[in-house]
């Protein structure tokens, strides 16, 4: 028995070194907005400090009891109870999802129509789903704490000074970020119709104003063949696993011609039951990623061609099923960069592929 070789960290070490040099000289992009007045910022920070015990409890409780996408019932209930304990009316099971949360604070006279020139409305988001098997390895328990903490701190500030800031702040607990798109479901059910902007943070190894996220689509390819005895009458079969194997190999060859911003990950989740029977069904799951909508569209087309070509070569049928969720894009990066810089830390504006 042999063991897998250890991948070299040379590239990551080089990337970290280059990032460090960039952060020493990088200038955060200027924002046209002055941000909160110093007195208001200090008042909010004091409220956050007072919430330290509660927020630590959120981090550790969710970490110790991870729940995957659309199953975050205990996590969502825990956050709702936290909000209610601080005197905030919170709703659970909103915008089409039983584990989504909504709460609001601010001026009762604030307009419900986003984009107006009067009092603004901003949404603060919290995620709280975990990864299958490994739990909160992506830190959504931290996202839950930061979003809820910011919202409660603003609510406390407004209690002490009803004129502290105009407009409304909406708290949205957004389920199913890992491998799904709860925000998309919520958006289709009106969650963002009455807000002008939405903001959240994600834990990372350093402060970044913009991470170069790759748009992602999920693809399921199902090959349908004809079962036959692999020894007695193999010529009477049509091997679905052969089709999946050809497609997997073709994706590997395609990578030679992909631009640096593209990624394809594929696995074969079903490929037969017994070696003695030619598989009549094989299933592939794929992630297609790219930086731009145009290149993601092109990559998607290439993958469809591969699937159809593999089916043609093996005499099998093929079903190509894309997920229905569009990719998400970052916003408000310049204003966020200014806030990071004001907090005293170096800010890298982007990382990877820029």
The predicted-structure confidence for 302-339, as pLDDT tens digits, reads as follows 999 999 999 999 999 999 999 866 544 444 445 555 55
Q: What is the pLDDT of residues 43-59, one digit of tens each?
A: 999 999 999 999 999 99
Confidence tier at 350 by pLDDT (50, 70, 90): very low
Q: Which of 50-59, 102-111, 245-254, 325-334 has the lowest mean pLDDT?
A: 325-334
Residue 217 has a pLDDT of: 87
Of 30-34, 107-111, 211-215, 221-225, where does the model show the most confidence? 221-225
Average pLDDT of span 79-104 = 97
Within 8 A by CB and 6+ apart from 177, the residues are 69, 127, 129, 140, 183
On the question of pLDDT at 7 being above 70, the answer is yes
Percent of the chain with pLDDT over 70: 86
pLDDT of res. 340? 54
What's the pTM value of the predicted model, to 2 decimals? 0.71
pLDDT tens for 25-43 read 877 666 777 778 889 999 9
For β-strands 317-322 and 215-224, DSSP reports them as antiparallel
Identify which of 21, 42, 26, 16 has the alpha carbon closest to the alpha carbon of residue 341. 26
What number is the average pLDDT over the span 69-89?
97
Model pLDDT, residue 27: 72
pLDDT tens for 157-171 read 999 999 898 899 999
**Other beta carbons less than 10 A from residue 244's beta carbon:** 32
Q: In what order do the strands lie in the sheet with 215-224?
A: 263-270, 281-290, 215-224, 317-322
Q: What is the DSSP string of 49-78?
A: HHTHHHHHHHHHHHHHS---TT--HHHHHH
Tell me what the mean pLDDT of segment 250-255 comes to.
97
pLDDT for the residue numbered 212: 73
């Amino acid at each position: 028995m042999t063991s897998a070789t250890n991948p070299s960290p040379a590239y990551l070490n080089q990337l970290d070194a280059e990032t460090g040099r960039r952060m020493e000289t990088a200038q955060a992009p200027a924002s046209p907005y002055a941000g909160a007045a110093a007195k208001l910022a200090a008042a909010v920070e004091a409220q956050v400090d007072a919430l330290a015990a509660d927020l630590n409890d959120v981090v550790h409780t969710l970490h110790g009891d991870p729940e995957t996408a659309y199953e975050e019932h205990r996590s969502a209930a825990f956050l709702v109870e936290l909000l209610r304990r601080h005197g905030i009316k919170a709703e659970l099971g909103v915008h089409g999802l039983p584990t989504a949360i909504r709460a609001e604070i601010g001026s009762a006279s604030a307009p419900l129509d986003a984009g107006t020139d009067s009092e603004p409305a901003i949404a603060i988001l919290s995620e709280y789903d975990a990864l299958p098997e490994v739990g909160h390895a992506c830190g959504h328990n931290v996202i839950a704490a930061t979003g809820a903490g910011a919202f409660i701190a603003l609510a406390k500030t407004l209690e002490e000074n009803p004129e502290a800031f105009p407009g409304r702040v909406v708290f949205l607990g957004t389920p199913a970020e890992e491998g799904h798109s709860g925000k998309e479901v919520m958006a289709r059910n009106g969650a963002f119709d009455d807000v002008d902007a939405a903001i959240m943070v994600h834990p990372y190894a350093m402060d970044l104003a913009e991470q170069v996220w790759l748009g992602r689509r999920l693809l399921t390819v199902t090959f349908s063949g004809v079962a036959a005895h692999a020894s007695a009458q193999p010529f009477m079969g049509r091997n679905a696993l052969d089709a999946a194997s050809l497609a997997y190999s073709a994706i590997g060859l395609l990578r030679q011609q992909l631009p640096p911003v593209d990624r394809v990950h594929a696995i074969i989740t079903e490929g037969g039951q017994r070696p003695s029977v030619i598989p009549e069904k094989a299933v592939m799951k794929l992630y297609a990623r790219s930086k731009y909508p145009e290149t993601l569209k092109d990559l998607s087309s290439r993958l469809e061609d591969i699937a159809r070509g593999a089916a043609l070569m093996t005499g099998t049928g093929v079903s190509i099923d894309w997920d229905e969720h569009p990719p998400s894009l970052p916003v408000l990066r310049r204003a966020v960069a200014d806030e990071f810089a004001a907090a005293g830390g170096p800010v890298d504006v982007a990382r990877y592929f820029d």
